[in-house]
Amino acid sequence: MPDSIRSIFRSLAPAVDFCSLRLVEETSEQLTVRQDVLQPLSTTIDRGAMITVVHRGGYGYAATSDLSVAGLTNALARARRWAEAGAGRSVVDYSRIELPRPSGTYSTPPSVASMPPRRDLIDLLMRESASCRIDARVVDWQASIWSVSTSQTYLTADGADMEQQFRYLIPNLAVTASDGMDTQTRSLGGQYNGYCRQGGFEILEQAGFHGSGKRVAEQALELLAAPNCPNGTMDLLLMPEQMMLQIHESIGHPLELDRILGDERNFAGTSFVTLDMFGSYRYGSGLLNVTYDPERSEEFASYGWDDEGSKAERAWLIRDGILERPLGGAVSQARSGMQGVANARACNWNRPPIDRMANLNIEPGSSTLDDMVRSVERGVLMDTNVSWSIDDSRNKFQFGCEYGRLIENGELKGIVKNPNYRGISATFWRSLKAVGDRSTFSVMGTPFCGKGEPSQVIRVGHASPACLFGDVDVFGGA
Amino acid sequence: MKQYFLDLAARLDARLRDGEDYQCWLAAEASDFVRFNRSAIRQPGHVRQIYLSVTLFHGKCHAEMTMALSGRIESDRFLLDRMVAALRSQLPDLPEDPHLLRATEVHSTDHLIASRLPETVALVEEVLDAARGHDLVGILAAGPVYRGYANSFGQRNWHETTSFNLDWSLYHERDKAVKGSYAGFEWSSAAFAGKFRDAAAQLDLLQRPPMSIPPGAYRAYLTPTAMNEILGMLNWGGVSEKSLRTRQSPLCHMRDDGIRLNPAITLSENTAGGLAPAFQGDGFIKPGRVVLFDQGRLTGSLVSPRTAKEYGIGTNGADAGESMTSLDLAAGNLPMSGVLAELDTGVYISNLWYLNFSDRMNGRITGMTRFASFWVEGGEIKAPLNVMRFDDSLFRVLGENLVGLTSEREMLIDTDTYGARSTGSALLPGALVKDFVFVL
Q: Which of A41, A45, A307, A448 to mutate to test the interface with B (most CBs of B within 10 A)?
A: A41
How confident is the model at residue A426, as a pLDDT?
85
Are B48 and A422 an interchain contact pair (Cβ–Cβ within 8 Å)?
A: no
Look at B175 and A41 and tell me if their CB atoms are within 8 Å: no
Domains of chain A: 2-225 (3.30.2290.10), 232-475 (no CATH)
Q: What is the mean pLDDT of residues B258-270?
A: 97
User: CA gyration radius for chain B?
Assistant: 24
Q: Where are the beta strands (DSSP E) in B59-135?
A: 61-68, 109-113
- Read off the pLDDT of residues B97-139 as tens digits, 9 standing for 90 and up: 999 999 999 999 999 988 889 999 999 999 999 999 999 999 9
How many residues make up chain A in this entry? 478
Are the Cβ atoms of A38 and B137 closer than 8 angstroms?
A: no
Question: Is B219 a residue whose pLDDT tops 90?
Answer: yes
Interval A242-300: pLDDT, tens: 999 999 999 999 999 999 999 999 999 999 999 999 999 999 999 999 999 999 999 99
Other C-beta atoms closer than 10 Å to the C-beta of A53 total: 29
Residue A232 vs residues A170, A245, A325, B391: alpha-carbon distances, Å: 36, 22, 35, 16
Question: Could you tell me which of A24, A346, A419 has the C-alpha nearest to residue A184?
Answer: A419
State how far the Cα of A110 lies from the Cα of A106, in Å rounded to an integer: 12
Residue B115's pLDDT is: 83
Is the pLDDT assigned to residue A444 strictly greater than 90?
Answer: yes
Query: Where are chain B's structural domains?
Result: 2-206, 216-438
User: What pLDDT does residue A418 have?
Assistant: 98
A414 pLDDT more than 70: yes
Cβ–Cβ pairs < 8 A, chains A and B? 251
- In whole angstroms, give the CA distance from residue B366 to residue A397: 10
Mutate to test the interface with B, among A84, A139, A229, A389 (most CBs of B within 10 A): A389
Q: Does A84 touch chain B (CB under 8 A)?
A: no
| Cβ A177 vs Cβ A184: under 8 Å | yes
pLDDT-derived band at A3, boundaries 50, 70, 90: confident
Alpha carbon distance B120, B166 (integer Å): 11
Distance CA A244, CA A49 (A): 32
**CA atoms of A290 and A327, how far apart (whole Å):** 12
Element at A258 (helix H, strand E): helix A257-260
* Contacts B37 to A, Cβ<8 Å: 91, 261-263, 265
The reply to whether residue B357 touches residue A387, judged by beta carbons under 8 angstroms, is yes
Query: B389 contacts in A (CB within 8 Å)?
Result: 389, 391, 396, 398, 422
| A43 close contact with B: CB closer than 8 A | yes
Each residue's pLDDT tens digit, B358-387: 999 999 999 999 999 999 999 999 999 999
User: pLDDT tens across B284-314, in order?
Assistant: 999 999 999 999 999 999 999 999 999 999 9
Q: Residue A454 and residue B366: Cβ atoms within 8 Å?
A: no
**Are A393 and B69 a contacting pair at CB < 8 A?**
no
Q: What is the pLDDT of residue A114?
A: 86
Confidence of residue B166 (pLDDT cuts 50, 70, 90): very high
**Chain A hits for B355, Cβ within 8 Å:** 389
Q: What is the mean pLDDT of residues B254-265?
A: 95
- Please tell me the predicted confidence (pLDDT) of residue B35: 98
The predicted complex's ipTM stands at: 0.96
Peptide linkage before B277 cis (omega within 30 of 0): no
Interface membership of B387 toward A (CB under 8 Å): yes
Q: Is the pLDDT of residue A219 over 70?
A: yes
Q: Which of A411, A431, A414 is nearest to A473 (CA)?
A: A431
pLDDT at B272: 95
Q: Is the pLDDT of residue A478 over 90?
A: no
CA separation for the pair A251, A429 (Å, rounded): 9
Instruction: Tell me the whole-structure pTM to 2 decimals.
Output: 0.97
With cut-offs at 50, 70 and 90, classify the pLDDT of residue A1.
low
How far B112 CA sits from the closest chain A CA (Å)? 24
pLDDT in tens, A364-412: 999 999 999 999 999 999 999 999 999 999 999 999 999 999 999 999 9
pLDDT attached to residue A2: 73
Is it the case that residue B176 has pLDDT exceeding 90?
Answer: yes
Name residues 229-288 of chain B within 8 A of A (Cβ). 246-248, 252-253, 256-257
**How sure is the predictor about A111, in pLDDT bands with cuts at 50, 70 and 90?**
confident
Look at residue A345 and tell me whether its pLDDT is greater than 70.
yes
Query: Does B367 contact A at CB distance below 8 Å?
Result: yes
Q: With CB atoms and an 8 Å threshold, state whether A65 touches B138.
A: no
Which strand (E) or helix (H) includes residue B349? strand B346-349
Q: Compute the Cα dihedral for B258, B262, B263, B269 and give only its sign.
A: negative
Q: Using the predicted structure, report yes or no on whether residue B264 has a pLDDT greater than 90.
A: yes
Contacts with A466 (C-beta within 8 Å, 6 or more apart), sequence order: A237, A238, A239, A240, A243, A369, A372, A436, A440
Judged by a CB distance cut-off of 8 A, whether residue A123 touches chain B is: no
pLDDT at A439: 98
Contact B419 A261 (CB under 8 A): no
Determine, for residues A62 and B45 on separate chains, whether the beta-carbon distance falls below 8 Å. Answer: yes
What average pLDDT does the segment B53-61 reach? 97
Name which of A55, A51, A62 is nearest A85 in CA terms.
A55
pLDDT value of residue B141: 98
| Predicted local distance difference test score (pLDDT) of residue B297 | 97
Q: What are phi and psi of A100, to 5 degrees?
A: -65, 160
Question: Do residues A312 and A294 touch, judged by C-beta distance below 8 A?
Answer: yes
Q: What is the mean pLDDT of chain A?
A: 97
Cis before residue A454, ω within 30 degrees of 0?
yes
Q: Which of B348, B51, B128 is nearest to B223 (CA)?
A: B348
Distance from the A364 Cα atom to the nearest Cα atom in chain B, whole angstroms: 30
Rounded to a whole number of angstroms, the distance from the CA of A12 to the nearest CA of chain B is 18
Would you identify the CATH topology of the domain B2-206?
PmbA/TldD fold (3.30.2290)
Residue of A nearest to B174 (CA): A270
CB B41 within 8 Å of CB A91? yes
Q: Is B115 on the interface with A (CB under 8 A)?
A: no
- Strands of A72-216, DSSP E: 103-107, 138-156, 161-179, 182-187, 197-198
Q: Which of residues 394-433 of A touch B (CB under 8 A)?
A: 396, 398, 400, 418, 420, 422, 424
